[in-house]
Amino acid sequence: MKVSNEFKIGVLALVSGLLLYFGVRFLKGTDVFSRQTTYYAVYDSVDGLTISNPILLNGYSVGRVNDVKLLQEGTNNRVVVELDIESTIKVGQGAVAQLVSSDILGGKAIALKTGDVNKPLNARDTLLSETDKGIQQLMMDTALPVIKQLDSAMIRINYILKNIDENESTINQTLANISVLTKTLNGTVVQNQKNISTSTTNLAKLTEGLTDDNEGLVSFLSKMNHLADSLNDLPLKATLEETKATMANIKLLSDQIEAGKGTMGKMMKDDSLYNNLNASAQSLDLLLNDLRERPRRYVHFSLFGRKNKD
């Protein structure tokens, strides 16, 4: 059977087309022989995400970005990304396609969160989208406060330098005064160097004297220790207890006197004794007055023994 040239050309064109198709997919990083499911995610900005960037699940590549398109009609120029994920990966409701940085050079990737795999999504459904702060953004967020602080510090330094320029004469005068003061101190030290040397010599002699009297100091300290031991041996505790008991007895006696108990208490609190003594004193006074005025009533004396008249 003779094959026509047209058939050969057709077969060659078909093979070339297939090779071109699979070659392009291979160059994109897509597994040619694996089945994939297409999903979509919409972002406000993709920050340099391009076709064939990887889709990662816990750091493992499970697909590729197949297409990136800009939506301009009523979406504020949002970007829709077509995601080709291996069909063996279950994607459920609540799945998230997070745009992340894959390296420090700014490369991008999609970090997949599968969501509830018990409620799988259909092909070409739209996943939730998130954008993670990249390393550059984190560095900028960290650097901005430092830059602001440096800016504030530079402003303060400029202010200080400006004040220094404005007060240059005052600063120079202060430095001149310090120089004069230093010279004066040096002169004073030179003039009193002899006195300082004498004081140092006397201090050395005093130290030597204390060294020579070391035995006397030791004896004095020994006597003080002996005195302390003697004080410790005294029956201070018993003396204190006896004193305490005596004070308690005195307080008890004072309380009894205050309450009018006992002889002393009755003498202090009962007025009858005072009244009796007062009455006796008055009677005695009357008796003495009567004795002084009428002695014959009480003393009978007769040389001849005659009777006294009434």
According to the model, what pLDDT value does residue 94 have? 93
User: What is 34-132's CATH number?
Assistant: 2.40.30
Token pair 């020994």 is found at 222
Neighbours of 61 (CB within 10 A): 13
Spatial contact of 108 and 46, defined as CB atoms under 8 Å apart: yes
From the list 1, 129, 144, the residue with the least C-alpha distance to 65 is 129
From the list 46, 106, 58, the residue with the least C-alpha distance to 82 is 46
Residue 298, token pair as written in the block: 């009480």
- Packing angle between helix 168-191 and helix 135-166, nearest 10 degrees? 70
From the list 13, 56, 63, the residue with the least C-alpha distance to 37 is 63
The letter for the amino acid at 6 is: E
From the list 72, 34, 53, the residue with the least C-alpha distance to 111 is 53
Q: What are the phi and psi torsion angles at 192 (to 5°)?
A: -100, 20
Pairwise CA distance, residues 250 & 226, whole Å: 37
According to the model, what pLDDT value does residue 138 have? 59
According to the model, what pLDDT value does residue 115 have? 92
The secondary structure element, H or E, covering residue 12 is helix 5-27
According to the model, what pLDDT value does residue 310 have? 45
Pairwise CA distance, residues 84 & 101, whole Å: 19
The whole-angstrom distance between residue 79's C-alpha and the CA centroid of its chain comes to 50
According to the model, what pLDDT value does residue 123 have? 92
Alpha carbon dihedral 252, 254, 256, 257, in 10-degree steps, equals 160
Which residue numbers in the chain have pLDDT < 70?
Answer: 1-3, 24-34, 75, 134-141, 209-218, 231-234, 236, 264, 266-270, 298-310
Residue 302 contacts by C-beta under 8 Å, 6 or more apart in sequence? 308
Query: pLDDT digits over 160-198, tens only?
Result: 877 777 777 788 888 888 988 888 888 887 777 778 888
Please report the DSSP string for 259-282 in residue order: HT-HHHHHHHH-SHHHHHHHHHHH
Pairwise CA distance, residues 206 & 217, whole Å: 15
Residue 98 contacts by C-beta under 8 Å, 6 or more apart in sequence? 110, 111, 112, 113, 129, 130, 131, 132
- Locate the domains of the chain by residue range: 34-132, 138-166, 246-292
Residue 122, token pair as written in the block: 């259909």
According to the model, what pLDDT value does residue 172 have? 81
**CA–CA distances in Å: residue 147 to residues 142, 161, 170:** 9, 21, 34
Spatial contact of 96 and 123, defined as CB atoms under 8 Å apart: no
Pairwise CA distance, residues 23 & 18, whole Å: 8
According to the model, what pLDDT value does residue 113 have? 93
Query: pLDDT digits over 126-137, tens only?
Result: 999 998 876 556
Neighbours of 91 (CB within 10 A): 25
